[in-house]
Amino acid sequence: MEPILDIKGLSKAYDGFQLKPFDLRLERGSIMGFIGPNGAGKSTTIRAIMNLVRKDGGDIKIFGLDHIRHEQKIKDKIGVVFDEGHFYEDLSLHDTMKFISRFYTQWDSSQFDHYVKQFQLPLKKKIKELSKGMKMKFSLAIALSHHAELLIMDEPTSGLDPLVRSELLDILMTVMQDEQKAILLSTHITSDLDKIADYITLLHNGSLLFTKPKDALADQYGVVKGDLRQLPLLQELCIGVKKNSYGFEALVDDRARVKRELGDAVLIEKPNLEEIMLFYTRRELHA
Protein backbone atom coordinates (compact mmCIF):
# COMPACT_ATOMS: atom_id res chain seq x y z
CA MET A 1 0.00 0.00 0.00
CA GLU A 2 1.31 3.44 -0.92
CA PRO A 3 2.05 5.84 1.95
CA ILE A 4 -0.49 8.51 2.79
CA LEU A 5 2.35 11.08 2.66
CA ASP A 6 5.46 10.57 0.54
CA ILE A 7 8.18 13.25 0.48
CA LYS A 8 11.27 12.88 -1.71
CA GLY A 9 14.13 15.36 -1.80
CA LEU A 10 12.19 18.25 -0.28
CA SER A 11 14.28 21.43 0.04
CA LYS A 12 13.63 25.10 0.76
CA ALA A 13 16.02 28.02 1.29
CA TYR A 14 15.47 31.35 3.02
CA ASP A 15 17.96 34.04 3.96
CA GLY A 16 19.86 32.51 6.86
CA PHE A 17 18.11 29.11 6.74
CA GLN A 18 18.12 26.10 4.47
CA LEU A 19 15.92 23.03 4.63
CA LYS A 20 18.25 20.42 3.18
CA PRO A 21 16.86 17.71 0.85
CA PHE A 22 15.27 14.82 2.71
CA ASP A 23 12.80 11.97 2.25
CA LEU A 24 9.89 11.11 4.53
CA ARG A 25 7.10 8.52 4.41
CA LEU A 26 4.01 8.42 6.60
CA GLU A 27 1.98 5.21 6.43
CA ARG A 28 -1.74 4.86 7.04
CA GLY A 29 -2.66 3.82 10.56
CA SER A 30 0.27 5.62 12.19
CA ILE A 31 1.08 8.76 14.16
CA MET A 32 4.40 10.42 13.37
CA GLY A 33 5.89 12.77 15.94
CA PHE A 34 7.80 15.60 14.27
CA ILE A 35 10.35 17.05 16.71
CA GLY A 36 13.29 19.42 16.80
CA PRO A 37 14.36 22.75 18.34
CA ASN A 38 12.91 26.08 17.23
CA GLY A 39 14.13 26.87 13.73
CA ALA A 40 14.76 23.22 12.86
CA GLY A 41 12.48 23.33 9.81
CA LYS A 42 9.32 21.65 11.11
CA SER A 43 6.90 24.46 10.28
CA THR A 44 8.60 25.06 6.93
CA THR A 45 8.08 21.39 6.08
CA ILE A 46 4.42 21.50 7.07
CA ARG A 47 3.82 24.69 5.09
CA ALA A 48 5.50 23.12 2.07
CA ILE A 49 3.28 20.05 2.39
CA MET A 50 0.23 22.33 2.46
CA ASN A 51 1.63 24.40 -0.46
CA LEU A 52 1.60 27.51 1.72
CA VAL A 53 5.24 28.10 0.78
CA ARG A 54 6.76 27.19 -2.56
CA LYS A 55 9.35 24.44 -2.23
CA ASP A 56 12.68 24.83 -4.03
CA GLY A 57 13.09 21.16 -4.85
CA GLY A 58 11.69 17.70 -4.36
CA ASP A 59 8.34 15.97 -4.73
CA ILE A 60 5.46 15.71 -2.29
CA LYS A 61 2.66 13.20 -2.83
CA ILE A 62 -0.39 12.91 -0.61
CA PHE A 63 -2.81 10.03 -1.19
CA GLY A 64 -0.54 9.19 -4.13
CA LEU A 65 -1.25 12.57 -5.79
CA ASP A 66 1.04 15.52 -6.48
CA HIS A 67 0.34 18.09 -3.78
CA ILE A 68 0.25 21.02 -6.22
CA ARG A 69 -1.47 19.57 -9.29
CA HIS A 70 -4.20 18.00 -7.16
CA GLU A 71 -4.22 20.55 -4.34
CA GLN A 72 -7.98 21.03 -4.08
CA LYS A 73 -8.74 17.31 -4.10
CA ILE A 74 -6.05 16.63 -1.50
CA LYS A 75 -7.06 19.41 0.88
CA ASP A 76 -10.63 18.15 0.82
CA LYS A 77 -9.31 15.11 2.75
CA ILE A 78 -6.85 16.84 5.10
CA GLY A 79 -7.52 18.27 8.55
CA VAL A 80 -5.08 20.94 9.75
CA VAL A 81 -4.58 22.31 13.26
CA PHE A 82 -2.02 25.07 13.78
CA ASP A 83 -0.69 26.54 17.02
CA GLU A 84 -2.55 29.78 16.26
CA GLY A 85 -6.01 29.58 14.73
CA HIS A 86 -6.36 31.34 11.39
CA PHE A 87 -10.00 32.33 11.79
CA TYR A 88 -11.75 35.69 11.54
CA GLU A 89 -11.66 36.90 15.13
CA ASP A 90 -14.95 38.83 14.94
CA LEU A 91 -17.02 35.90 13.66
CA SER A 92 -18.88 33.58 16.01
CA LEU A 93 -17.99 29.90 16.11
CA HIS A 94 -21.28 29.07 14.42
CA ASP A 95 -20.72 31.53 11.56
CA THR A 96 -17.13 30.38 11.17
CA MET A 97 -18.29 26.78 10.87
CA LYS A 98 -20.95 27.71 8.29
CA PHE A 99 -18.33 29.53 6.21
CA ILE A 100 -15.69 26.77 6.38
CA SER A 101 -18.06 23.84 5.86
CA ARG A 102 -18.80 24.99 2.30
CA PHE A 103 -15.27 24.09 1.22
CA TYR A 104 -15.54 20.38 2.08
CA THR A 105 -17.46 17.89 -0.03
CA GLN A 106 -17.82 15.47 2.90
CA TRP A 107 -18.70 17.94 5.65
CA ASP A 108 -20.58 16.05 8.37
CA SER A 109 -22.81 18.31 10.49
CA SER A 110 -23.68 15.50 12.89
CA GLN A 111 -19.98 14.87 13.49
CA PHE A 112 -19.39 18.55 14.18
CA ASP A 113 -22.34 18.61 16.59
CA HIS A 114 -20.81 15.62 18.37
CA TYR A 115 -17.57 17.51 18.97
CA VAL A 116 -19.43 20.69 19.95
CA LYS A 117 -21.06 18.72 22.76
CA GLN A 118 -17.90 16.85 23.70
CA PHE A 119 -15.79 20.02 23.84
CA GLN A 120 -18.62 22.18 25.23
CA LEU A 121 -18.01 24.77 22.54
CA PRO A 122 -19.97 28.05 22.91
CA LEU A 123 -21.15 28.48 19.32
CA LYS A 124 -22.54 31.97 19.89
CA LYS A 125 -19.24 33.38 21.14
CA LYS A 126 -16.81 35.14 18.85
CA ILE A 127 -13.41 33.58 18.14
CA LYS A 128 -11.64 36.44 19.93
CA GLU A 129 -13.57 35.66 23.12
CA LEU A 130 -12.22 32.12 23.42
CA SER A 131 -9.36 30.88 25.56
CA LYS A 132 -6.44 29.26 23.77
CA GLY A 133 -7.70 25.85 24.83
CA MET A 134 -11.15 26.52 23.40
CA LYS A 135 -9.67 27.82 20.14
CA MET A 136 -7.66 24.61 19.84
CA LYS A 137 -10.74 22.48 20.50
CA PHE A 138 -12.69 24.42 17.86
CA SER A 139 -9.86 23.95 15.34
CA LEU A 140 -9.84 20.24 16.09
CA ALA A 141 -13.62 20.00 15.74
CA ILE A 142 -13.37 21.60 12.29
CA ALA A 143 -10.49 19.31 11.30
CA LEU A 144 -12.37 16.18 12.36
CA SER A 145 -15.77 16.99 10.86
CA HIS A 146 -15.16 16.29 7.18
CA HIS A 147 -13.83 12.73 7.39
CA ALA A 148 -10.22 13.78 6.87
CA GLU A 149 -7.84 10.92 6.23
CA LEU A 150 -4.69 12.88 7.15
CA LEU A 151 -4.39 15.18 10.16
CA ILE A 152 -1.50 17.65 10.14
CA MET A 153 -0.93 19.36 13.48
CA ASP A 154 1.66 22.05 14.19
CA GLU A 155 2.20 22.56 17.94
CA PRO A 156 -1.44 21.85 18.82
CA THR A 157 -0.78 21.35 22.56
CA SER A 158 1.52 24.36 23.04
CA GLY A 159 0.35 26.50 25.94
CA LEU A 160 -2.51 24.19 26.91
CA ASP A 161 -3.02 23.01 30.46
CA PRO A 162 -2.35 19.31 31.19
CA LEU A 163 -6.06 18.41 31.37
CA VAL A 164 -6.83 19.82 27.92
CA ARG A 165 -3.67 18.23 26.48
CA SER A 166 -4.67 14.85 27.88
CA GLU A 167 -8.16 15.23 26.41
CA LEU A 168 -6.68 16.09 23.01
CA LEU A 169 -4.39 13.05 23.04
CA ASP A 170 -7.30 10.78 23.94
CA ILE A 171 -9.23 12.13 20.94
CA LEU A 172 -6.31 11.49 18.61
CA MET A 173 -6.02 7.92 19.85
CA THR A 174 -9.74 7.45 19.16
CA VAL A 175 -9.31 8.87 15.65
CA MET A 176 -6.51 6.39 14.99
CA GLN A 177 -8.81 3.43 15.60
CA ASP A 178 -9.51 3.92 11.89
CA GLU A 179 -6.35 2.43 10.43
CA GLN A 180 -6.88 4.21 7.12
CA LYS A 181 -6.05 7.54 8.74
CA ALA A 182 -2.69 9.03 9.75
CA ILE A 183 -1.43 11.96 11.82
CA LEU A 184 1.67 14.15 11.44
CA LEU A 185 2.13 15.85 14.80
CA SER A 186 4.76 18.55 15.31
CA THR A 187 5.34 19.43 18.95
CA HIS A 188 7.89 20.59 21.51
CA ILE A 189 6.11 18.59 24.21
CA THR A 190 7.83 15.28 23.64
CA SER A 191 6.08 13.65 26.60
CA ASP A 192 2.88 13.76 24.51
CA LEU A 193 4.61 11.74 21.80
CA ASP A 194 5.88 9.25 24.37
CA LYS A 195 2.20 8.41 24.90
CA ILE A 196 0.81 8.23 21.37
CA ALA A 197 3.42 8.28 18.57
CA ASP A 198 4.33 5.30 16.42
CA TYR A 199 7.27 6.97 14.65
CA ILE A 200 9.57 9.86 15.51
CA THR A 201 11.25 12.18 12.99
CA LEU A 202 13.94 14.54 14.29
CA LEU A 203 14.94 17.71 12.42
CA HIS A 204 17.83 19.95 13.39
CA ASN A 205 19.22 23.00 11.55
CA GLY A 206 17.26 22.07 8.45
CA SER A 207 18.55 18.49 8.32
CA LEU A 208 16.61 15.31 8.97
CA LEU A 209 18.61 13.36 11.56
CA PHE A 210 16.45 10.27 11.69
CA THR A 211 13.01 8.72 11.31
CA LYS A 212 12.55 5.67 13.51
CA PRO A 213 9.82 3.70 15.26
CA LYS A 214 9.35 5.14 18.74
CA ASP A 215 9.62 1.70 20.37
CA ALA A 216 12.92 1.08 18.58
CA LEU A 217 14.33 4.26 20.09
CA ALA A 218 13.46 3.05 23.58
CA ASP A 219 14.96 -0.37 22.88
CA GLN A 220 18.14 0.81 21.15
CA TYR A 221 19.29 3.99 22.88
CA GLY A 222 20.58 4.45 26.40
CA VAL A 223 21.69 7.22 28.74
CA VAL A 224 24.98 6.14 30.30
CA LYS A 225 26.31 7.75 33.49
CA GLY A 226 29.80 7.13 34.80
CA ASP A 227 33.29 8.32 35.61
CA LEU A 228 35.09 10.50 33.04
CA ARG A 229 37.82 7.84 32.77
CA GLN A 230 35.25 5.50 31.18
CA LEU A 231 34.16 7.98 28.53
CA PRO A 232 36.84 7.06 25.93
CA LEU A 233 35.46 3.50 25.90
CA LEU A 234 32.13 4.86 24.60
CA GLN A 235 33.38 7.25 21.93
CA GLU A 236 32.20 5.32 18.88
CA LEU A 237 28.72 4.82 20.38
CA CYS A 238 28.14 8.35 21.70
CA ILE A 239 25.54 10.64 20.16
CA GLY A 240 26.15 13.40 22.69
CA VAL A 241 27.87 13.92 26.02
CA LYS A 242 27.19 16.01 29.11
CA LYS A 243 30.23 16.48 31.36
CA ASN A 244 30.39 17.75 34.92
CA SER A 245 32.80 17.68 37.84
CA TYR A 246 31.48 14.30 38.98
CA GLY A 247 31.57 12.46 35.67
CA PHE A 248 29.47 12.34 32.52
CA GLU A 249 26.12 11.48 30.98
CA ALA A 250 26.09 10.27 27.40
CA LEU A 251 23.47 9.15 24.92
CA VAL A 252 24.57 5.95 23.17
CA ASP A 253 22.93 4.23 20.23
CA ASP A 254 23.55 0.66 21.41
CA ARG A 255 22.50 0.21 25.02
CA ALA A 256 22.86 -3.57 24.89
CA ARG A 257 26.48 -3.37 23.72
CA VAL A 258 27.40 -0.97 26.54
CA LYS A 259 25.80 -3.36 29.00
CA ARG A 260 27.82 -6.28 27.59
CA GLU A 261 31.15 -4.45 27.54
CA LEU A 262 30.96 -2.33 30.70
CA GLY A 263 28.42 -4.14 32.81
CA ASP A 264 27.90 -2.59 36.24
CA ALA A 265 30.83 -0.19 35.84
CA VAL A 266 28.35 2.40 34.54
CA LEU A 267 24.69 3.20 35.09
CA ILE A 268 22.52 2.66 32.00
CA GLU A 269 18.99 4.05 31.73
CA LYS A 270 16.33 4.16 29.03
CA PRO A 271 16.06 7.69 27.60
CA ASN A 272 12.87 9.59 26.95
CA LEU A 273 12.32 11.53 23.72
CA GLU A 274 13.32 14.83 25.28
CA GLU A 275 16.71 13.42 26.29
CA ILE A 276 17.26 11.94 22.84
CA MET A 277 16.44 15.26 21.15
CA LEU A 278 18.65 17.20 23.55
CA PHE A 279 21.70 14.99 23.11
CA TYR A 280 21.30 14.87 19.31
CA THR A 281 20.94 18.62 18.89
CA ARG A 282 23.51 19.73 21.48
CA ARG A 283 26.34 17.28 21.04
CA GLU A 284 28.44 18.39 24.00
CA LEU A 285 26.79 19.77 27.11
CA HIS A 286 28.41 21.18 30.22
CA ALA A 287 26.59 21.21 33.54
Question: The domain spanning residue 144 has which CATH number?
Answer: 3.40.50.300
Same domain, 173 and 205: yes
Same domain, 73 and 165: yes
Same domain, 63 and 187: yes
Between 167 and 129, residue with greater pLDDT:
129
The pair phi, psi for residue 252, each rounded to 5°, is -115, 155
Domain end (from 193, 212, 231): 212
Could you give the number of structural domains in the chain? 2
For position 280, which CATH number holds? Answer: 3.30.70
Same domain, 58 and 135: yes
Which SS3 state, helix, strand or coil, does residue 167 take? helix
Same domain, 27 and 130: yes
DSSP states along 228-248: GGGGGGGGGGEEEEEEETTEE
Average pLDDT over residues 95-100: 96
> What does the alpha-carbon distance between residue 203 and residue 191 come to, in Å, rounded to a whole number?
17
Spatial neighbors of 274 by CB under 8 A, at least 6 apart, are: 190, 191
| 8-state DSSP, 52 | S
Average pLDDT over residues 115-138: 90
Domain end (from 185, 212, 239): 212
Q: Encode pLDDT of 7-45 as tens digits.
A: 999 999 999 899 999 999 999 999 999 999 888 999 999
Between 120 and 83, residue with greater pLDDT:
120
Between 225 and 286, residue with greater pLDDT:
225
Q: Encode pLDDT of 214-242 as tens digits.
A: 999 989 999 999 999 888 888 888 999 99
The pair phi, psi for residue 8, each rounded to 5°, is -135, 120
Domain that holds residue 143: 5-212
Same domain, 195 and 238: no
pLDDT band at residue 198, thresholds of 50, 70 and 90?
very high
Assess contact for 285 and 243: CB atoms under 8 A. Answer: yes
> What does the alpha-carbon distance between residue 87 and residue 155 come to, in Å, rounded to a whole number?
17
pLDDT band at residue 271, thresholds of 50, 70 and 90?
very high
Same domain, 119 and 82: yes
In this predicted structure, the answer to whether residue 85 has a pLDDT above a threshold of 70 is no
In this predicted structure, the answer to whether residue 286 has a pLDDT above a threshold of 50 is no
Same domain, 205 and 109: yes
Q: Encode pLDDT of 48-76 as tens digits.
A: 999 999 999 999 999 999 999 999 999 99
How many Cα atoms within 13 Å fall on the side-chain side of residue 1? Answer: 10
pTM score, whole prediction? 0.91
* Percent of residues, the chain, with pLDDT higher than 90: 69
Domain end (from 157, 192, 212): 212
Average pLDDT over residues 140-169: 88
Same domain, 54 and 128: yes
Same domain, 180 and 62: yes
Same domain, 144 and 126: yes
- What pLDDT score was predicted for residue 152? 96
Same domain, 196 and 234: no
Assess contact for 198 and 212: CB atoms under 8 A. Answer: no
- What pLDDT score was predicted for residue 44? 94
Strands (E), 27-113: 31-35, 57-62, 65-66, 78-82
Cα 238 off chain centre by:
25
Which SS3 state, helix, strand or coil, does residue 30 take? coil
